[in-house]
Amino acid sequence: MFELTSLELAKAIQEKKLTSVEAVSACLGAVEKLDEKINAFISFDPERALARAEEVQKKIDAGEKLSRLAGVPVAVKDNISTRNFKTTCASKMLEGFEPVYNATVIEKMEEAGLIIIGKLNMDEFGMGGSTETGFFGAAKNPWDYTRVTGGSSGGSAAAVSAGEIPLSLGSDTGGSIRQPCAFCGISGIKPTYGAVSRYGLVAYASSLEQIGPMGRNIEDCAALLEIISGRDNRDATCVLPEPFSFEAKFNKGIEGIKIGLPVNYFESGIEQGVREVVLKAAKQFQEAGAELIEFRMPYTEYMIPAYYIIASAEASSNLSRYDGVKYGFRSESAKTLNDVYRMSRNEGFGLEVKRRVMLGSFVLSSGYYDAYYKKASDARRLIKSAYEKLFQSFDMILSPVAPGTAYKLGENLDDPMKMYMGDIYTVSVNLAGLPAVSVPCGFDELGLPVGIQLIGNVFTEAKLINSAREYQRITDWHTRIPGNAL
């Protein structure tokens, strides 16, 4: 079963070659066998998952039309609300918290017949680039247990890469789907802002983040994106009128597609192994019929500062609700109301969350708002306008996902600026609200996965997915599995 893609697994269930209960049981067994080493899961509930699989199997047997992924097990990042199922954001602040409602994406997946088996590890509240900052410990890369998975959706990537689960959901605020996919050798989609409802996604930076799928290949991701996308009246920012439908748009090839290649992304700051592999992938797109056009990406010097100022400002606002009074962790040592606020946050939040909340509060303060937050917002508009102009010349842009491959656990924890610079190729996509896909494209000299991203204009997911699918048709990088996988 573990060699099957999600769509192949769903087809096998539909054709009665195996049952959903058997598929879920196999995944639960894989989690029990592997996760002590990988730490991809924060929580999972075997009894609940098996009971749900039995319900879905009865519907399949009765001939009910559910979806192309009916009966397939899936797991979700632990910042996506699941009713009566722990949702902790990998933080002591929410340890043991069980929401009373489901996120919209959870409702849609359950209606489509998917079975949620558990919640996946992450950086605390999504703040980090390596899935090391969470309260429940670091997730470990299945290609090398001594290395990071990338962040903040590292558990979502590691679980798929290791074969614990065929599909997962992550969230992407500045590269948090794409970077873990690149580090762990799997595929993922960061949708256009407004394509997928954020209702039930625990807020970190509301104007930047989107939920998206992660899987072994781009077709699996596309099938899941079809299910979770589309308008939601509970999220005013979700504006896609109807869910995506990609299947009929496949098999069109990439002949004549214009792909922009930002040459300044390959000049400095990028590891030699990554440069070589990504440029080779670009050449393969060209050989498949695409037109490759070199250009210089503007405003690169503003991307990281603008992103971290805006993200931290929104984080300081969103996380102000965690005060030890209404819900969440409350310090037992507090004696006064002021103690409750101060001590609960001090004990409940980790270092990286505190760092970003303090930075966000600073840039929003009356004396520094114009000097920092306003300028970051101006830079964001410049970056968005630059992309709009670029997409008058290109259908999409091809770039590395990250300047390096997965680094050693603990290597960058004491150097936040070095970790932040790992997002240099991804954050501008979120600032502009654009879609992007990440797919594996080879390995560096250490045998670690390298990923490329394809960036498109708003709501051009079909074009990106078709191009990524064509790339995966002519290469086999997405079929490679780590030696530690099932």
Residues 6 or more apart whose CB falls under 8 angstroms from that of 68 comprise 7, 10, 223, 226, 247
Beta bridge partners of 75: 118, 168
- Predicted confidence at residue 249, as pLDDT, reads 65
- Predicted confidence at residue 353, as pLDDT, reads 98
106 within 8 A of 80, measured Cβ to Cβ: yes
| CA pseudo-torsion sign 406, 407, 413, 415 | negative
Residues 6 or more apart whose CB falls under 8 angstroms from that of 55 comprise none
- Please report, in tens digits, the pLDDT of each residue of the chain (486 residues total): 678 999 999 999 999 999 999 999 999 999 999 999 999 999 999 999 999 999 999 999 999 999 999 999 999 999 999 999 999 999 999 999 999 999 999 999 999 999 999 999 999 999 999 999 999 999 999 999 999 999 999 999 999 999 999 999 999 999 999 999 999 999 999 999 999 999 999 999 999 999 999 999 999 999 999 999 999 999 999 999 999 999 766 667 899 999 999 999 999 999 999 999 999 999 999 999 999 999 999 999 999 999 999 999 999 999 999 999 988 899 999 999 999 999 999 999 999 999 999 999 999 999 899 999 999 999 999 999 999 999 999 999 999 999 999 999 999 988 888 889 999 999 999 999 999 999 999 999 999 999 999 999 999 999 999 999 999 999 999 999 998 766
- Predicted confidence at residue 295, as pLDDT, reads 98
How many other CB atoms are found less than 10 A from the CB of residue 380? 24
Query: What's the rounded Cα separation, in Å, for the pair 81 and 194?
Result: 18
> Which of the following is catalytic: 67, 81, 161, 176?
176
Q: Where are the domains of the chain?
A: 6-252+473-479
213 within 8 A of 167, measured Cβ to Cβ: yes
Which pTM does this prediction carry? 0.97
* Separation of first and last alpha carbons in the chain: 10
Q: For 68, how many CA atoms within 13 A lie in the half-sphere containing its CB?
A: 17
> Which of the following is catalytic: 81, 152, 438, 467?
152
> Which of the following is catalytic: 20, 67, 77, 171?
77
Element (H, E) at 452: strand 449-456
77 annotated active-site: yes
How many other CB atoms are found less than 10 A from the CB of residue 361? 16
CATH class belonging to 6-252+473-479: alpha beta
80 within 8 A of 56, measured Cβ to Cβ: no
108 within 8 A of 80, measured Cβ to Cβ: no
| CA pseudo-torsion sign 267, 270, 271, 276 | negative
